């Protein structure tokens, strides 16, 4: 497994990391992603570790915290060998202070994640989205305090716009606080908006790209074909896709699939492996957060690393 530095940090992460939104399945939305419980989660974790994938990504909002709990149990005895990435910001209750990036919420959210993950520190702590109400100074000072306390080692963000990220970095730089070293973003062969503003910003500010849904919620997995309905077991068919259907026209999508099919025939790789490998050769990308509902899916996706597509 290849490892890359995460942005301006000294932390090296595998180019493929494992996302655990499929763990838990506590409601209809997350059941469409997956319903992985502890035993299967443990097998998936072991497959990752054997392949050199030691970064595991989750979030407090995933299945209302159940994903973190299951991951914590699956990582039993492995804590000093793994990198744990989790997130906060989205609502974890009905109260007005049970969401957002305020000091009040983040301190509470971090403690809750530590308990669920059964650990005393988080390696990479993300703001899951930008809080437009809380002053950026409050958020960045709180995150710096969490790093200084030893409860968090590195901070990152997720789904920020360019100005969200740049303002956060500028505030942290002004006060001498810790800055974001990673940005978890949506980026794929069929959705390349990341290249417009966030990629140049990442290059300038040395923020590593951590790509979520690199297969576009399974669209690039090779299952979707012209004039055929979505597979009934797919996240798109079940309404659990975080990627909007209108993000790309159907005609453009199938033109891309035609090219991917040709490359697959030439290389002997799958459409999914080619789609992932292409992303790994793009600027700023530190790691791709891949998910899997079962061991076979995971084994296939793990073969996306260790080789490179040619420019042709």
What are the tens digits of pLDDT across the range 61-99? 999 999 999 999 999 999 999 999 999 999 999 999 999
Using only C-alpha atoms, the chain has a radius of gyration, in whole angstroms, of 19
Paired sense of beta strands 16-19 and 55-57, if any: parallel
- Domain limits for position 16: 3-217+277-302
* Torsion of the alpha carbons at 64, 65, 71 and 73, rounded to the nearest 10: -120
Question: What's the CA gap between 33 and 137, in Å, rounded?
Answer: 35
Q: Could you give the number of structural domains in the chain?
A: 1
pLDDT of amino acid 310: 86
* Collapsed DSSP state (helix, strand, coil) of residue 290: strand
For residue 232, is it within any domain? no
Instruction: Name which of 305, 278, 293, 233 is nearest 41 in CA terms.
Output: 293
233 domain-assigned:
no
Residues of the chain with pLDDT under 50: none
At residue 92, the pLDDT reads 94
Taking the CA atoms of residue 195, residue 196, residue 199 and residue 204 in that order, the dihedral angle to the nearest 10 degrees is 150
Residue (of 311, 230, 291) closest to 34 by Cα position: 291
Q: Please give the pLDDT value at position 233.
A: 58
For residue 162, is it within any domain? yes
Check if 224 is active-site. Answer: no
> Which element (helix H / strand E) includes 46?
helix 38-50
**Active-site residue, selected from the candidate residues 62, 154, 187, 194:** 62
Q: How far is CA 49 from CA 14, 44, 279, in A?
A: 11, 9, 22
Rounded (5°) CA angle 196-222-259? 60
Q: What three-state secondary structure class fits 208?
A: strand
Give a yes or no: residue 268 inside a domain: no
Q: How far apart are CA 13 and CA 6, in angstroms?
A: 6
- What is the predicted pLDDT for the residue at 28? 74
Instruction: Name the phi and psi angles at 196, rounded to 5.
Output: -70, -50
Residue by residue, DSSP assigns 143-204 as HHHHHHHTSEEEEEEES--HHHHHHHHHHHHHHT-----EEEEE-BTTB-GGGTTHHHHHHH
Assigned domain for 223 exists: no
Tell me the CATH number at 166.
3.20.20.100
> What pLDDT sits at residue 75?
98
């Amino acid at each position: 497994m290849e490892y890359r530095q995460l942005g301006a940090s000294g932390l090296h992460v595998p180019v493929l990391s494992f996302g655990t939104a499929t763990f838990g399945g506590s409601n209809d939305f997350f059941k469409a992603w997956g319903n992985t419980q502890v035993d299967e989660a443990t097998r998936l974790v072991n497959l990752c570790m054997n392949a050199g994938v030691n970064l595991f990504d989750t979030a407090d909002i995933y299945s209302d915290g159940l994903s973190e709990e299951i991951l914590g149990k699956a990582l039993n005895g492995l804590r000093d060998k793994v990198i744990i990435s989790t997130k906060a910001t989205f609502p974890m209750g009905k109260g007005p202070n049970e969401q957002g990036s305020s000091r009040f919420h983040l301190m509470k959210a971090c403690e809750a994640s530590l308990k669920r993950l059964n650990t005393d520190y988080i390696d990479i702590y993300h703001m899951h989205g930008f809080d437009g109400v809380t002053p950026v100074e409050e958020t960045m000072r709180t995150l710096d305090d969490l790093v200084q306390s030893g409860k968090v080692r590195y901070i990152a963000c997720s789904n920020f716009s360019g100005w969200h990220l740049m303002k956060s970095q500028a505030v942290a730089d002004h006060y001498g606080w810790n800055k974001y070293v990673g940005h978890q973003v949506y980026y794929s062969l069929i959705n390349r908006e990341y290249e417009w503003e966030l990629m140049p910003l990442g290059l300038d500010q040395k923020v590593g790209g951590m790509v979520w849904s690199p297969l576009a919620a399974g669209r690039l997995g090779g299952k979707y074909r012209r004039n055929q309905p979505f597979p009934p077991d797919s996240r798109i068919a079940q309404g659990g896709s975080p990627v909007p259907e209108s993000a790309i026209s159907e005609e453009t999508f199938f033109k891309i699939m035609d090219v991917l099919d040709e490359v697959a025939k030439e290389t002997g790789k799958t459409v999914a492996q080619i789609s992932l490998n292409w992303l790994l050769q793009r600027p700023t990308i530190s790691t791709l957060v891949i998910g899997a509902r079962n061991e076979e899916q995971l084994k296939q996706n793990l073969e996306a690393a260790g080789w490179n597509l040619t420019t042709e």
